[in-house]
A and B are shown apart, each in its own frame.
Chain A
Amino acid sequence: MKIKKINLLSHHKNYLLYQKYFLLFRKIVFFSTGLFFVLLITSLLIITYKKNQVDVLIQQEQNLQTFIKNNLPVEENFKKFNNLFNQLKENLNNDVNFYPYYNLINDSLKISTNPPTIESLKIDQNKKVNFTLTFNNTNHLIEFLDYVEEEPFLNNFVNLKLESFLVESPSLLNTSNSYKISFVGQFKKIDNEN
């Protein structure tokens, strides 16, 4: 049915109300269009920014790949070295490395004018040590015992204690006794054992 006319007198209020709502709707449409463009531009800017970031990373990755590709033998050599050297150090932990520790004991005996002799020296891989020294003279023994109580000597050990003290007399007629002292303890690991 086609509308030919509307009685504005009788429905004036309703008409104004609809018109008001549709005017508001038009404003919403303008606003949504604006919002659409704002969103479009903002998202395009952010996406371009993000894409640039990714592009920079891709470029960086490619540069690194090229660098590594050109230096593969160098890398392989170092990896091999790293593996072997770590294994060597690990294996050396099983070793007693006797000589530097022997030297340490030997050098400390040299402080005495008449140094004692090493009767035995046992060292294991954990640097646990057991050594026996022989003295032919009481004065030298006392001189050495004074020395072993001093910091420079004790600093070489985690712990050290006198295990036994033995006086040996070769015969009843012989007045010159010999003295054997045994120590047990543990060496501090020498930083550079070489």
Chain B
Amino acid sequence: MKINYFLIKQLQKNSSFLLIFFINILLIFFIIFFYIQKIDQFNKQKLILEDKIKSLEKRKSLIEYTKNLKNRNINIELINQYLNSLIPNTEDFFSITAALENLSHETGFIIINYDLGPIDGNRKTVSLTITGIGNMDTFLEFLKKYRFNSGRLITIDKIDYSPENLNQTSTAEKKLYLTFYSQKNYVNNLTLNTINDNDNGLILEILSKTKIIKSQLDPNKEIEISAREDPFEAINE
């Protein structure tokens, strides 16, 4: 084999360059690798943080929105007390009885008969047929007030109003099919459903009409509830 002395001589002469060249190549690869890894790590971290921030921003705007509601004279804490009474956490015999008594007392349409049966605390609705006695005015008063005035939310799916048997003076019996509700499972919903004018009207109606049934008050909260002319009285003070 023929030895290439020129090449050997040149290699010896440029050995430091060769070394630097290999080190450079290694470092360049290392930098590229390190760069890609770091950038990838930062991008992933950034994406995770952006997602978290987005969700936190949502929660923040929800909190700010809730705080701003006070400027619109809407006190969420107070409204919750009313909503808790209308739709209690669990169903109980007492609050249904109290609601029906409240309604009789307030409308003059006397509920004389209803069959509650055993109450299952896990059921989210309780339906019952009531029989009431009243004249046309008291029956209309009942139809005007049954939804919120009793302290419990009551719905009636259909009404047959036939005043032929009811007049201003004479009284007659009337059967009605009422439904009561209790709270469904809590949905951890972060969607910000803003309170529009219709909702505002509904809240105002609830606050002005509902008389809280005491058993539905949150025992941890000390809040004084009394019938008031101005439903936002507590807030305005």
* Chain B residues near A82 (CB-CB < 8 A): 189, 191, 193
Q: Does B13 contact A (CB under 8 A)?
A: yes
A83 touches B162 (CB 8 A): no
Q: Which residue from A3, A33, A61 sits with its C-beta under 8 Å from B56?
A: A61
Given known A50-B39, A61-B53, A125-B157, contact A99–B143 (CB-CB < 8 A): yes
* Chain A residues near B197 (CB-CB < 8 A): 192
Measured CB to CB, the closest approach of chain A to B18, in angstroms, equals: 8
B31 touches A61 (CB 8 A): no
Of chain A, the residue at the smallest CB distance from B186 is A83
Q: Mark A109-134, 1 if CB is under 8 A from B, else 0.
A: 00000000111111111000000000
* Chain B residues near A154 (CB-CB < 8 A): none
Measured CB to CB, the closest approach of chain B to A167, in angstroms, equals: 18
Expressed in whole angstroms, the Cα–Cα distance for A59 and B15 within the complex equals 51
A79 touches B189 (CB 8 A): yes
Give chain B's interface residues, CB within 8 Å of chain A: 3, 5-10, 13-14, 17-18, 20-21, 24-25, 27-28, 31-32, 34-35, 38-39, 42-43, 45-46, 49-50, 52-53, 56-57, 59-60, 62-63, 65-67, 76-77, 79-80, 83-84, 86-87, 140, 143-144, 147, 153, 155-164, 179, 181, 183-184, 186-191, 193, 197-199, 201-206
Q: Would you give 14 A-B contacts (Cβ < 8 Å), ordered by A?
A: A18-B6, A25-B21, A39-B35, A43-B31, A47-B35, A47-B42, A64-B53, A75-B63, A80-B186, A83-B187, A96-B159, A119-B162, A121-B161, A194-B202
